Amino acid sequence: MTTAVCPGSFDPITLGHLDVVRRARSMFDEVVVGVASNSSKSALLGVEDRVRLARAAVADLPGVRVEPVVGLLADFVRAQGAVAVVKGLRGGADFDAELPMALMNRHLSGVETVFVVGDPALAHIASSLVKDVARFGGAVEDLVPPAVAHAVREALGVRPA
């Protein structure tokens, strides 16, 4: 059985992330969604909430589970017995950000990173923009699962659009 890890901050998980998870699952027998910390971002949602929301979002996807990543992703990938990290690309900026991480993870544990091109219809979806739209009263229901929209508004202290 081949396992891959789909890592991210998932602050919060979006329909764009879920598209990448589905594409990863079409290539690997099992996908572990790894909810990690990005030291260059400050998270709105705590890791427990991000894991809970991600678990609910993938509940209907067989062969997909969600785990928190404590420490280095490279160590997590090894501990899961995974053969690859799968990341999604929306465009060149994503590739520029992802390449150094892919090289570092390979340096640390020998793990390969597989890049998948996401659905262009979802390329405008980023967790940061979801939070910004919600913060200023916009609707995010077509960008994230319903429970996520609710949790983001609650964390931001804003009313539904």
Catalytic residue selected from 23, 50, 90, 153: 90
Which residues in 113-142 contact ligand COD (CB under 6 A)?
Answer: 118, 122-123, 125-127
Stretch that binds ligand COD, among 5-13, 24-32, 55-63, 149-157 (CB under 6 A): 5-13
Q: Give the binding-site size for ligand COD (rule: CB under 6 A).
A: 30
Distance between CA atoms of residues 96 and 86, nearest Å? 15
Residues making contact with ligand COD (CB under 6 A): 7-10, 14, 16-17, 20, 36-38, 41, 69, 72-74, 87-88, 90, 94, 98, 101, 104-105, 118, 122-123, 125-127
